[in-house]
Structure 1
Amino acid sequence: MTKYNWGIIGTGWIAGEMADALKRVNGKVYAAANPHKEALEAFGQEKGIKHLYTDPDEMIKDPNLDIVYIATPHNFHYQYAKQALLAGKHVFCEKAITINEKQLEDLASLAKEKNLILTEGFTLYHMPLYRKVKELIASGKLGQIQLVQVNFGSLKDYDPANRFFSKELAGGGLLDIGGYATAFARTFLDEMPNNILTTVKFFETGVDEQSGIILKNDRQQLAVMALSMRAKQPKRGVISGTKGYVEISNYPRAMQAEVTYTASAHEERKETITTGESGLALDYEVADMQRYVEQGHDDGELQTSREVMHILTAVRGQWGMRFPDDQD
């Protein structure tokens, strides 16, 4: 596989994990950017990165850069992704890729116009296990899929100043953890949901602390999601059909699925599907992104992200929750 010059915007924990994955798969990280000089220099020294920029715009302009990885708070994703695409760089952006549907549609159109790859950092798009689960469902062994249930509970410390609860930084559970749950649900629904029911509990800063979301499509398939930023839940997804169901724990980086066949009224039969490694989740992302750059892809992954963002934007619309960077 061809080696590429990746540049990272942001130096937080996920940027550190990605830098390690890049070194394993790609051999190096070409550049990093962060306006905070001390944090940038410490990050560069720890990860062995030679090209350091306190101005992300200057890094994006570097003619030797091939791919920009964006690991900043959500409200900066759109501006950096757009600048990178305009500069002719491929973009791999952490979730949520943008804060609303309008921003993502703008980026998707620009990427298509420039013939560039634009991808969102949902690990479940890349874990090998999901290919196996999709094959199982396609085989008909689970019958017709009727219901998807998915939870994500992340217990964040009470801190109104933290980015997780900041309206200015597009915080809240929906964009931080809800995208994973929604991507899981959309992946296993045969059609896009067109009916959304939801309720929310707000944090004191005005962002969503906890919510419940029900999705339904024209095939009458349901997805039920529970999200919380102040209560720990297992990251668990269940795909239920007329002949059985699949349970997937730690679904963002899953390596195992428990299958229960229920077609027989007298006896349930079980099997376990195991493949991939949770610890290599970002390695799979890097390898797939580089393959897309080399070979292209059919945009199915980006289309799923677009549909997920459509749902997230619609949910926020029902809540009446707007961020300062939302566009009319």
Structure 2
Amino acid sequence: MAEKKALRWAILGTGVVANEMAQALTNAGKEIYAVGNRTYDKAVDFAQKYHIKKVYQDFHEMFTDETVDVIYLTTPHNTHIDFMREAIKHGKHLLCEKSITLNSRELNEAVEAAKEKNLVLGEAMTIYHMPIYKKLRKYMASGKLGKVNLIQLNFGSYKAYDMNNRFFNMSLAGGALLDIGVYAFSLARSFLDSKPNEILSKVQYAASGADEKSGFVMTNKEGQMVVASLSLHSKQPKRAVISCEHGYIEIMEYPRAEEAVIINAETGERTVLRVGEQKKALQYEMEDMEAAIAGDIALMRLADTIDVMAMMSEIRTEWNMYYPSETPGEIL
């Protein structure tokens, strides 16, 4: 039997997460074929650091390079849809940093285009790929804790009030919802029976007009409830509690969790689950992406990504909060 051909990865962008993925690919014994960046010199430095042979003078050449199989897209999320259009047009699989797009309209376009080309499109969402979540979802499927009734989520970061940085700048699609809310909503959706169909929210804005902090109460048709709070200017524990009929699960540092505690409400017994490593978060994403390209497409949980984006787009429509590239009222 012929040996399976290794996928040829290219990375667009050279920021923090691009470095993390490059390290993950290197640690897993994968060869990074190419890198591209708006600033050529940064791409050259990145290539030297990770022994990458191909550096594009114009990063758009990445999309037309027939040698490239899969692109890891790490640029700011307001740039994603344009790059996704180019990549899909030229037959590239895409692993895209969160948030995968700005809104549902963009995501639906990309999903349909990828489907037509028989390409894998996935969001680099750690909650879908970390081993602890796979183990917890399997545990929940066993029915030992019964039905999920309530999920409580907190995520707060302290970012300095600089209205020009990516956290608050509307031209860079700043705001808590797309930057950190996507983690909270992705965790919730992955443990709910269906997408919430009723969402109540309260938001306060930064001086730039970006959402600085917000709170949510959501319910779905099964009567499951989610309560979440987000902030970009006050620290909160990254804590999730999944409350069920017969007990609850507590997860700390949930974006890249490696441990969860299961508490049996009837006996008081505490079971600690520990699996995976935070430092391998992007390696798990990469491994699932390669497995999806090989045929196990369900690993990318694209249906959850679509639901989460719909939730965020519905919320921003209710808030009447749009980014400069968007047409008000037309993001769903």
Q: Please indicate, yes or no, whether the TM-score normalized by the shorter chain is above 0.5.
A: yes
**CA spacing shift, 1:296–1:259, aligned 2, 3 Å:** closer
**Number of equivalences:** 325
The one of 205, 209, 224 aligned to 2:208: 205
3-state DSSP of counterpart to 1:236 = strand
Aligned to 2:55: 52
More divergent stretch after superposition (54-63 vs 192-201): 54-63
- Aligned position for 1:307: 307
What amino acid maps onto 2:221 in structure 1? Answer: D
Q: Aligned partners of 1:118, 1:242: CA distance in 2, in Å?
A: 36
Shift of 1:60: 1.1
Deviations 1:158-190 (A, max 9, x none): 211111111111111111111010000111111
TM-score by length of 2: 0.95
CA offsets 1:215-247 (integer angstroms, 9 cap, x no match): 101111100111111111111111001110000
Asked whether 1:104 is paired with 2:107, we answer yes
* Aligned amino acid, residue 200 of structure 1: V
Alignment partner of 1:87 is 2:90: yes
Q: Which amino acid aligns with 2:162?
A: D
Which of 124, 138, 143 is the matching residue for 1:140?
143
Listed as ranges, the matches of 1:59-70 within 5 Å are 59-70=62-73
Please give the alpha-carbon distance, in whole angstroms, between the structure 1 residues aligned to 2:27 and 2:84. Answer: 25
SS of residue in 1 equivalent to 2:293: helix
1:179 to 175, 178, 182: 182
The equivalent residue for 1:290 is 290
2:16 corresponding residue in structure 1? 13
Following TM superposition, by how much is the alpha carbon of 1:300 offset from its aligned partner in structure 2, in angstroms?
A: 6.6
| CA deviation after TM superposition for structure 1 residue 54, in Å | 3.9
Please report the TM-score for the alignment, with normalisation by the length of structure 1: 0.96
Would the aligned equivalents of 1:35 and 1:54 in 2 still touch at CA under 8 Å? no
Paired residues of 2:96 and 2:122 also in contact (CA < 8 A): yes
Q: Give how far 1:26 is off.
A: 4.6
5+ long unaligned stretches in structure 1: none
Larger displacement relative to structure 2 (219-228 or 42-51): 42-51
Which residue matches 2:232?
A: 229
Q: Does 1:125 align with 2:131?
A: no
Aligned to 1:321: 321
Q: 1:148-297 to 2 correspondence within 5 Å?
A: 148-262=151-265, 264=266, 267-297=267-297
When the two chains are superposed, the root-mean-square deviation of aligned CA atoms in Å is: 1.3
- Give, as a single letter, the amino acid of the residue that structure 1 aligns with 2:228: M
Q: Report if the CA contact (8 A) 1:117-1:296 is conserved.
A: no
Aligned partner of 1:301: which letter?
Answer: R
Q: Is the Cα–Cα contact under 8 Å of residues 212 and 233 in structure 2 kept in the other structure?
A: yes
* Alpha-carbon distance in structure 2 between the residues aligned to 1:118 and 1:68: 10
Compared CA separation, residues 15 and 300, structure 1 to 2 (3 A) = closer
- Contact 1:3/1:26, CA 8 A, preserved across alignment: no
Q: Structure 1 runs of 4+ off > 4 angstroms?
A: none
**What is the CA–CA distance in structure 2 between the aligned matches of 1:304 and 1:124, rounded to whole Å?**
11
CA distance in 1 between counterparts of 2:87 and 2:121 reads 10
Task: Report deviation, 1:250.
Answer: 1.3
Cα deviation for residue 88 of structure 1 reads 0.3
Q: 1:70 is aligned with what amino acid?
A: L
**2:213 alignment partner AA:** Q
Task: Say if 2:289 and 2:299, in contact at 8 Å, map to a contact too.
Answer: no
Distance 2:292 2:40 in 1: 33
Q: Aligned equivalents of 1:310 and 1:215: distance in 2?
A: 13
Determine whether 1:42 maps to 2:57.
Answer: no
